[in-house]
Amino acid sequence: MSHYMQNRSMLDFRTDPSTPAGLPQTVDRALRILLAFDRESPEWGVTEISRAFGLHTSTAQRLLAALTHRGFLVRDDSSRRYRIGPAALYLGRVWDQVGALGLLAQPVLDELAAFTGQNILFALPDSAHMRTVLVAEGEHGRLRDYPMVNELYPAHAGATSKAYYAFLPFAQRKRLFIDRPLARFTANTATDLGRLERQFAQVRARGWAYTEGEYDEGVATLAVPVFLREEPYASLSVGWPKERLGEHPSDWVDALCSASERISLRLTHRGR
């Protein structure tokens, strides 16, 4: 297991308490407050915020009101507590619509494609599948050979899916596979839940997934997860036609891992 997965919970833009000199401190405080609304603590009162950030209640109250005025928070009038507001939905849609993910990650994929010479794939989970959202073409792999944007791969077949779903909490993964038979695509597809779970365990132990023709008969794939803070977020993979097996796949593990980490860093607004 490569080293990069240890420090996923480092300091990032959410938790760093310092306001760099010269920047409007009021704005920075407001943004830090906004980022405090997460899954673990989705609701905050004025006093809680003031304590958590060492501010006067008066100040906290005004900052919360300012965030609320633009829809970043909403206030429940009966409980007087604040929650995340519709501007969060709006920003998330803008992120998608302008293809911001691509602007951040594509350069990393392109480097990988140049390094390996093979096609690179970036895929996001989508209802018990992985959906390719970014691709980079390597010199030895014409895109027609293999992946296109917006293709779907089932959760139980192929390294791309395995690298992601292996790191989902067991309860969530289980829910995906009960009541649905595991379709067989090739002779290598695991159609037995026990065997599949053992494969996932191996992927977790190694930190990467390698499959040969589990979904597409002639294709070998090497994949690693991409993390967003503590959670698996996406999957990054190299794919190549099996007959060109020459290169030893483990040669690319390090490159994939370091690319995955760079993307993670960018997605949490650390490293460039």
Residue 25 in contact with DNA, rule: CB under 7 A: yes
- The residues in 204-233 that bind its own copies, with binding defined as CB under 8 A, are 228
> Of 47-55, 137-145, 234-242, 260-268, which part binds its own copies (CB under 8 A)?
260-268
Q: Give the Cα separation of 160 and 229 in Å (integer).
A: 20
**How many residues are there in the chain?**
272
What is the residue type of 196? L
Nearest to 228, CA basis, from 120, 128, 129, 101: 101
Contact (CB, 8 A) for 268 and 237 = no
Residue 54 in contact with its own copies, rule: CB under 8 A: no
Q: In the complex with DNA, which residue's Cβ is closer, 63 or 157?
A: 63
Placement of tokens 């994949």 in the chain: 223
- The residues in 91-120 that bind its own copies, with binding defined as CB under 8 A, are 91-98, 100-101, 103-104
* Residue choice 5, 30, 55, 182 for contact with its own copies (CB under 8 A): 30
* Residue choice 1, 10, 35, 143 for contact with its own copies (CB under 8 A): 35
* Residue choice 14, 62, 83, 206 for contact with DNA (CB under 7 A): 62
Token output for 115:
């390094």
Residue 62 in contact with its own copies, rule: CB under 8 A: yes
Q: Give the Cα separation of 57 and 51 in Å (integer).
A: 8
* Residue choice 39, 56, 248, 272 for contact with DNA (CB under 7 A): 56
Distance (Å) of CA 121 to CA 236, 237, 262, 267 = 6, 5, 15, 17
* Residue choice 5, 52, 55, 88 for contact with its own copies (CB under 8 A): 88
Give the alpha-carbon dihedral of 8, 9, 15, 18, to 10 degrees.
-70
Q: Give the Cα separation of 248 and 38 in Å (integer).
A: 42
- Contact set with DNA (CB under 7 A): 22, 24-27, 29, 45-48, 55-59, 61-63, 78-81
- Contact set with its own copies (CB under 8 A): 12-14, 19-20, 22-24, 26-28, 30-32, 34-35, 37-39, 42, 62-63, 65-67, 69-72, 74, 83-98, 100-101, 103-104, 126-127, 131, 228, 266-269
